[in-house]
Structure 1
Amino acid sequence: MSYQVLARKWRPRIFREMVGQEHVLQALINALDHNRLHHAYLFTGTRGVGKTTIARILAKCLNCETGVSSEPCGQCSSCREIAEGRFVDLIEVDAASRTKVEDTRELLENVQYAPTRGRYKVYLIDEVHMLSNSSFNALLKTLEEPPPHVKFLLATTDPQKLPMTILSRCLQFNLKNMNPERIVQHLKFVLGEELVPFEEAALWHLGRAADGSMRDAMSLTDQAIAYGSGKITEVEVSTMLGTIDQTAVYDIVNALASLDGRAVLAAVERMSEQAPDYANALAEMLAVLHRIAIAQALPEAVDNSHGDRERIMQLAQQLPSEDVQLFYQTALLGRRDLPLAPDARAGFEMVLLRMLAFKPQGVIDVPTQALPQGQQPKVVQAAPVVNQVQSVSQVQEVNQAPVINQTPVVNTPAAAPVVAPVPVAETPVQVAATSASHTPPAEEPPVMDAASVPDDEYAEYAQAPAYYDVPATEPAAATQEVSQPKKPEAALPPVVAAPELPPAAKTIRKVPYEQATPADWTDIYLGLGVTGILQSTVANCQMTGRQGNEFFFVLDETNSTLFDVSHEKRLQDLLVDYFVEQVKVRIQVGKVTAETPAQMAIRLRAERLDDAIKSIKNDPVVQQLIAQFGATLNEESIQPI
Structure 2
Amino acid sequence: MVLYRKYRPQNFGQVIGQNFIIQTLQGEIKFNRLSHAYLFAGPRGLGKTTVARILAKAVNCPNLDIKKEIEPCNQCSICQEITSGSSLNLIEIDGASNRGINEIRELKEKVRFPPPTGKKKVFIIDEVHMLTTEAFNALLKTLEEPPEFAIFILATTEPHQLPETIISRCQRFDFKKVKAEEIINRLKMIVKEEKREVDNKVLEQIAFHSEGCVRDAESLLGQILSLSEGKITLDEASLVFPSENLDLLIEFSHLILEKKTSLAIKKINQIMEEGIDLDQFRENLLEFLRKILLLKQGVDLNNFNWSDAEMAKIKNLIKSVEINEIIEIIEEFLKIPDFSRYSPVPQLPFELCLLKLGAAPAYRQADNR
Question: What is the TM-score normalised by the length of structure 2?
Answer: 0.72
Taking a change above 3 Å as real, the CA distance of residues 168 and 230 of structure 1, as seen in their structure-2 partners, is farther
Taking the aligned partners of 1:203 and 1:331, their CA distance within structure 2 comes to 34
Matched ranges for 1:231-246 at <5 A: 231-244=231-244
Taking the aligned partners of 1:68 and 1:127, their CA distance within structure 2 comes to 33
Taking a change above 3 Å as real, the CA distance of residues 199 and 167 of structure 1, as seen in their structure-2 partners, is same
Taking the aligned partners of 1:102 and 1:250, their CA distance within structure 2 comes to 52
Letter in structure 2 aligned against 1:243? S
- Deviation digits for residues 233-270 of structure 1 (CA, Å, limit 9, x no counterpart): 32233232341256x69999xxxxxxxxxxxxxxxxxx
Taking the aligned partners of 1:175 and 1:212, their CA distance within structure 2 comes to 11
Residue 58 (structure 1) aligns with: 55
- Deviation digits for residues 326-354 of structure 1 (CA, Å, limit 9, x no counterpart): 69639938x969x79xx9xxx9xxx9xxx
Q: Pick one of 10, 14, 19 that aligns with 2:16.
A: 19
- Deviation digits for residues 92-133 of structure 1 (CA, Å, limit 9, x no counterpart): 111222122112111111322221011111111111111111
May I ask how many residue pairs the two structures share in their alignment?
314
Taking a change above 3 Å as real, the CA distance of residues 77 and 251 of structure 1, as seen in their structure-2 partners, is same
- Secondary structure of 1:186 counterpart: helix
Residue 288 (structure 1) aligns with: 291
Taking a change above 3 Å as real, the CA distance of residues 77 and 238 of structure 1, as seen in their structure-2 partners, is same
Taking the aligned partners of 2:323 and 2:164, their CA distance within structure 1 comes to 47
Taking the aligned partners of 2:283 and 2:132, their CA distance within structure 1 comes to 40
Taking the aligned partners of 1:90 and 1:156, their CA distance within structure 2 comes to 18
Taking the aligned partners of 2:94 and 2:243, their CA distance within structure 1 comes to 35
Give unmatched runs, 5+ long, in structure 1: 253-271, 352-641
Residue 7 (structure 2) aligns with: 10
- Secondary structure of 2:238 counterpart: helix
- Shift of the alpha carbon at 1:181? 3.6
Letter in structure 2 aligned against 1:17? Q
Q: Is the 8 A contact 1:180 1:306 kept in 2?
A: no
Q: Is the 8 A contact 1:93 1:126 kept in 2?
A: yes
- Shift of the alpha carbon at 1:190? 1.3
Taking the aligned partners of 1:139 and 1:279, their CA distance within structure 2 comes to 41
Taking the aligned partners of 2:236 and 2:323, their CA distance within structure 1 comes to 34
Q: Whose helix proportion is higher, 1 or 2? A: 2
Residue 340 (structure 2) aligns with: none
Letter in structure 2 aligned against 1:180? A
- Shift of the alpha carbon at 1:183? 2.2
Taking the aligned partners of 2:126 and 2:318, their CA distance within structure 1 comes to 49
Q: Is the 8 A contact 1:238 1:245 kept in 2?
A: no
- Displacement over 6 Å in runs of 4+: 249-252, 274-278, 318-322
Matched ranges for 1:180-195 at <5 A: 180-195=180-195
- Shift of the alpha carbon at 1:136? 1.2
Taking a change above 3 Å as real, the CA distance of residues 111 and 283 of structure 1, as seen in their structure-2 partners, is closer
Greater C-alpha Rg: 1
- Deviation digits for residues 180-221 of structure 1 (CA, Å, limit 9, x no counterpart): 343223212211221222122222332232233211111111
Q: Is the 8 A contact 1:48 1:214 kept in 2?
A: yes
Q: Is the 8 A contact 1:181 1:304 kept in 2?
A: no
Residue 164 (structure 2) aligns with: 164
- Secondary structure of 1:97 counterpart: coil
Residue 397 (structure 1) aligns with: none
Letter in structure 1 aligned against 2:186? H
Q: Is the 8 A contact 1:244 1:276 kept in 2?
A: no
Taking the aligned partners of 2:196 and 2:214, their CA distance within structure 1 comes to 18
Letter in structure 2 aligned against 1:36? R
Letter in structure 2 aligned against 1:148? E
Q: Is the 8 A contact 1:6 1:218 kept in 2?
A: yes
> Does residue 1:41 correspond to 2:38, yes or no?
yes
Residue 178 (structure 1) aligns with: 178
Matched ranges for 1:81-480 at <5 A: 81-229=81-229, 231-244=231-244, 282-283=285-286, 285-294=288-297, 296=298, 302-306=300-304, 323=320, 325=322, 329=326, 332=329
Q: Is the 8 A contact 2:296 2:323 kept in 1?
A: no
Letter in structure 2 aligned against 1:205? Q
- Secondary structure of 1:212 counterpart: coil
Q: How large is the Cα RMSD of the aligned pairs?
A: 3.9
- Secondary structure of 1:12 counterpart: coil
Taking the aligned partners of 2:317 and 2:238, their CA distance within structure 1 comes to 31
Taking a change above 3 Å as real, the CA distance of residues 320 and 209 of structure 1, as seen in their structure-2 partners, is closer
Q: Is the 8 A contact 2:249 2:285 kept in 1?
A: no
- Secondary structure of 1:241 counterpart: coil
Taking the aligned partners of 1:18 and 1:61, their CA distance within structure 2 comes to 14
Taking the aligned partners of 1:250 and 1:108, their CA distance within structure 2 comes to 55
- Secondary structure of 1:46 counterpart: coil
- Deviation digits for residues 277-308 of structure 1 (CA, Å, limit 9, x no counterpart): 876664454233233234x2xx6xx4445456
- Secondary structure of 2:154 counterpart: strand
- Secondary structure of 1:109 counterpart: helix
- Shift of the alpha carbon at 1:276? 7.4
Taking the aligned partners of 2:275 and 2:200, their CA distance within structure 1 comes to 24
- Deviation digits for residues 538-593 of structure 1 (CA, Å, limit 9, x no counterpart): xxxxxxxxxxxxxxxxxxxxxxxxxxxxxxxxxxxxxxxxxxxxxxxxxxxxxxxx
Q: Is the 8 A contact 1:14 1:71 kept in 2?
A: yes
Taking a change above 3 Å as real, the CA distance of residues 182 and 323 of structure 1, as seen in their structure-2 partners, is farther
- Secondary structure of 2:55 counterpart: helix
Taking the aligned partners of 2:113 and 2:58, their CA distance within structure 1 comes to 21
Taking the aligned partners of 1:116 and 1:41, their CA distance within structure 2 comes to 23
Taking the aligned partners of 1:130 and 1:280, their CA distance within structure 2 comes to 27
Taking the aligned partners of 1:197 and 1:203, their CA distance within structure 2 comes to 11
Q: Is the 8 A contact 2:293 2:323 kept in 1?
A: no
Question: What is the TM-score normalised by the length of structure 1?
Answer: 0.43
Taking the aligned partners of 1:133 and 1:68, their CA distance within structure 2 comes to 42
Residue 28 (structure 2) aligns with: 31
Q: Is the 8 A contact 2:43 2:157 kept in 1?
A: yes
Taking the aligned partners of 1:51 and 1:42, their CA distance within structure 2 comes to 9
Q: Is the 8 A contact 2:2 2:222 kept in 1?
A: yes
Q: Is the 8 A contact 1:286 1:328 kept in 2?
A: no
